[in-house]
Amino acid sequence: MKRREFILALGGAAAVWPLTARAQQKTPTIGFLGPASASAMSAWTAAFVQRLRELGWIEGRSIAIEYRWGDGRADRLSEIAAEFVRLKVDVIVTTGTAVPLLKQATSTIPIVFTIANDPIGGGLVTSLSRPGGNATGLSQLAADLGGKRLELLREVVPGLRRLATLSNVGNAVTASEMTQVWEASRTLALEVVNCEIRRAEDITPAIEALKGRADAIYVQTDPLMNTNRVRINTLALGARLPTLSGIREYVEAGGLMSYGPNFPDLFRRAAEYADKILRGAKPADLPVEQPTKFDLVFNLTTAKVLGLQVPEAFLLRADEVIE
């Protein structure tokens, strides 16, 4: 080969090599498991993706995200967990509800959870400061949160004597939330009517049976309930029953009020966990964090339909009033 041809060939190979090397590099992949529906979690998903972008992870370019939705069906979660293992995703982001099934499916793929009611009691981690396994993330169970919600409810429903609780008995992970509510109800001398839900078809007859038997409904924070929040609040409003929950989106769907952690903020912080893990951190070494931002959201339109006289001082304390 002539000297000039050799140099040209060498230069061409050098130009192609970086492209080949980059092509061989695997784009990191996040498995995003939403136990509820895509529409129910859209605001939270958007907050997660936006924070990733701020941290330098651009979906479709520097990061791939595989979205899967449980639609409130617990039986779907095991299938999705197995699929993520087959796909060999680099990290899985989900809520506390799905973590036990994910940990059964894999002990090596890192798991980041948001909205975990009781990470230790639910067996998600061994301790908050040293999670110790392949899962870590954020807890939303603040001390006496159930009691705080009921005290707020009594301010706008002063005649509250009988409280109905709408809970998914198939979700053991969120049982701690209901325990808080029941203990707070006893302290406040409230009679509790517990409505146990196992599937979406149970919701309508449960709420219809509450007419004349309750003064308000506490709706559990759960993927099944979240997926069906519009139906729940429509039925409750038809039965002239105010609803209380821990999620802002329930109030957007016609519920009376919510008080709890700011969920978009929790998902933004989950993105920060994913970022650290993708850069080499181990879940076992990343402490579980608590919520720092809480919101009181009130639906004034719903209050008017129910004929409730809301103190002005209460509305001034609310972080958001929906009209």
Q: Three-state SS for 116?
A: strand
Whether 313 and 186 share a structural domain: yes
Length of the chain: 323
Same domain, 105 and 167: no
- For residue 134, what are its two tokens? 């392949």
Question: Same domain for 283 and 230?
Answer: no
Q: Is 1 domain-assigned?
A: no
Is there a single domain that holds both residue 200 and residue 70? no
CATH (domain of 236): 3.40.50.2300
Query: What does the alpha-carbon distance between residue 228 and residue 77 come to, in Å, rounded to a whole number?
Result: 18
107 and 69 within one domain: yes
**Same domain (yes/no): 280, 315:** no
Tens of each residue's pLDDT in the chain, 323 residues: 444 444 444 444 444 444 444 444 689 999 999 999 999 999 999 999 999 999 999 999 999 999 999 999 988 999 999 999 999 999 999 998 899 999 999 999 999 999 887 888 888 999 999 999 999 999 876 556 888 999 999 999 989 999 999 999 888 767 778 888 889 999 999 999 999 999 999 999 999 999 999 999 999 888 899 999 999 999 999 999 999 999 999 999 999 999 999 999 999 999 999 999 999 999 999 999 999 999 999 999 999 999 999 999 999 999 999 99
Boundaries of domain holding 131: 9-141+263-293
In a domain, 4, yes or no: no
Are 83 and 149 contained in the same domain?
no
| Domain identity same for 228 and 86 | no
Q: For residue 96, which of 132, 69, 126, 122 has the smallest C-alpha distance?
A: 122
Based on the fold, state whether residues 42 and 75 are members of the same structural domain: yes
pTM above 0.85, yes or no: no
Judging by DSSP bridges, how do beta strands 216-219 and 162-168 pair with one another? parallel
Total of domains in the chain: 2
On whether both 188 and 127 belong to a single domain, the answer is no
Residue 137 inside a domain? The answer is yes
| 287 and 131 Cβ atoms separated by less than 8 Å | yes
Q: Write the CA distances from 268 to 95, 190, 263, 286, integer angstroms.
A: 13, 37, 9, 16
Residue type, 272: E
Helix-then-strand count for the chain, H and E: 13, 12
Question: Within a domain: residue 95?
Answer: yes
Both 306 and 233 in one domain: the answer is: yes
DSSP secondary structure string, 44-94? HHHHHHHHHHHTT--BTTTBEEEEEE-TT-HHHHHHHHHHHHHHT-SEEEE
Q: Is the domain of 157 the same as that of 46?
A: no
How far is C-alpha 29 from the chain's CA centre?
20
